[in-house]
Each structure stands twice: as structure tokens, then as C-alpha cells.
Amino acid sequence: MDALSDDGTRALSVIGFIGSVFSPWYRWSGRRDPANHCCINVATYGPGGRFTMTDRGRAALRQSPDTFEVGPSSMRWTDGKLVITMDEVSSLPLVSRVRGTITLTPDAVTGVELALTPDGAHVWRPFAPSGRVEVDLGKRGQWSGHGYFDANFGTRALETDFSYWTWGRYPLKDGAACFYDAVLRDGSHGATALKIGADGSVVEMDTPPPRARLPRSLWAVRRETRCDAGQAPRQVLPMLDAPFYTRAAVETVVEGEPSTGVHEALDLDRFRGPWLMPMLAVRVPRRAGWRFRS
């Protein structure tokens, strides 16, 4: 899930992994045992922002129909709300505790599920493309904003099937617009453009806004998003910047409506390179021995 504060100064992202796709430890293991490489990745942006992504072993994973727990952090579906509690330690160079609670109240939950590859090996499930978020990070601050909740599932490594992709979700007056643009490993292109109503209705856009370039990231990752012709998207809040991946709050225009949402670009040609894994190991520690007390 991700969220932006109403005043535009803060943001966060929380991702739960079984088979931590961006973990070097999972890749080095041969990706044979996804449950032995699980994680709840928490990243906060704005004043006091921190990044946490700890790769944990099978003993740190517990699941039920309504709960996903990895180590000391969890996601729970309670009374129609997604409640995330976290107790993580941020990675180098700003090592510190990140504790708090995030509550996402969806406008609605959709029933849509989309294949991102022709054979269905990768699936995108936008559960709640719009909703309200309440964030309590203790001494790191409390804020409210708009949020988003989705999931991706896959039976092969991302870099096996994709070369590059961009994704963006942009809140609208009555729901949200979501865009997925991908370049597959065989050179073909995939494009998904959805308008999702606050009531959970889903409509594929007949004529989505054209792709428009954004400036490259600090690591020179190529970026683009969808924007009405004659308009120009712009970054309004930098978030995550890595050699193969970038996330930012971006302002765009969709069918005449200005919107600020979360955008990402992922260069999987770079991610394939073995030179990247030691760099990631510094930011993604492995804690295989963590155990629940009961």
C-alpha cells in the first residue's frame, strides 16, 4: 500500500513479500523457497523519513485469512479496514527504530484481476485504488491522506519476463486512474489504463492519455507516465531512488482533471546485473533466525 499526506509533504509505502523479489538473499538462494525469504518493507518520506527492508526466514511468517505477519510487523483486515502495525529497524545509513500504525479505509474493494503477461504468469490485483489513510508514527509524526492498496502475484522472476515498466495511481474526484505500461523481455509492449470509481466499478479507458516523459531519476532511471496531451507531468515529492527503481509523487492531468499520485519506474535490465546484489545487501539485511515468542 502507499499513501500521500493531504498537505503533500509526507508519504509512505508498505509492501508485504512472500518471496522478497528485490532481496539479494532470495536471489542468491535460487528462489526455491519463497516463504523462507519474507518481509514487510516500510518506507517513509518527508521529515524524518526512513527505509526498512529486512529479509526474514520461514519461522517469522504467520498467515490467516485476515492476517499477514512477518516478524514484529503485521497487516490485518479488520472491519473493512487494512490495519498495519510495524516495528522495524531502518537500514544504513540512518539506522533507527520505525514503529507505528497505519489504517487504510478503502472507498470500495474491486473484483478486478489482470494478467500482466499473455500466459498469466504475473497478475496485478488492485484491491482498493482509493481510500483514506490515518498514520501514527509516534515521535515521527501523525498525518492523514489518501491511499491505495494492491497486490502482485507471479510464478517467475520479474526480470525473466519484463525489461521495464512504469506504474502510476492518481486519485480523482470519484475514484482513481491506474496505469501500467510494460516492456516485456521479448520486446512486446503491454498497456493497462483503468478508471476505478469510488464504488469499486472498473472501466478500461478507451483512449488513455498519451505517455509523457519525466526527467530521469538521480540514478538516471528512465521515467514516463500518462498525461493529457499538451500537459506535462512533474515530480512534486521525491521518494525512493535506487539504481534500478524509482518512486515519487507525481502531478499529472487525466481527462482534464489535475491529480497528484504515486508513480514508479522499474528497470529490470539493470536489476538483472549481478553487480547490483552486493549493493542491495547493504540496504536489505538478512535476519533468518527471528522467532515468534509463542
Express each pLDDT in 244-291 by its tens digit: 999 999 999 999 999 999 999 999 999 999 999 999 999 999 999 999
Query: Stretch 70-75: mean pLDDT, rounded?
Result: 98
pLDDT at position 264 is 98
Span 141-170, average pLDDT: 96
Q: How many domains does the chain have?
A: 1
Residue 17 lies in a domain: yes
State residue 93's pLDDT score: 85
In a domain, 34, yes or no: yes
Check residue 130 and give its pLDDT.
94
pLDDT reading at 241 higher than 90: yes
Share of the chain above pLDDT 90, in %: 96
In a domain, 294, yes or no: no
Beta-strand relationship, 257-267 and 202-204: unpaired
What value does the mean pLDDT take over residues 146-154?
Answer: 96
Q: State the distance between the two ends of the chain, measured CA to CA, in whole angstroms.
A: 28
- Tell me the average pLDDT of the chain: 96
Would 92 be classed as within a structural domain? yes
Q: Is the pLDDT of residue 33 over 80?
A: yes
Mean pLDDT of all residues in 1-29? 97
Residue 218 maps to a domain? yes
> Using CB atoms within 10 A of its CB, is residue 185 exposed (0-12), middle (13-18) or buried (19+)?
middle
Tell me whether strands 286-287 and 55-56 are parallel, antiparallel or unpaired.
parallel
In a domain, 293, yes or no: no
The CA distance from 69 to 83, in Å, is 12
Model confidence at 94, pLDDT cuts 50, 70, 90, reads confident
Q: Is residue 292 a part of any domain in this protein?
A: no
Position of cell 509512505? Answer: 12
3-state class (DSSP) for residue 28: helix
Grid cell at residue 182 = 510494460
Residue-number span of the structural domain to which 98 is assigned: 2-287
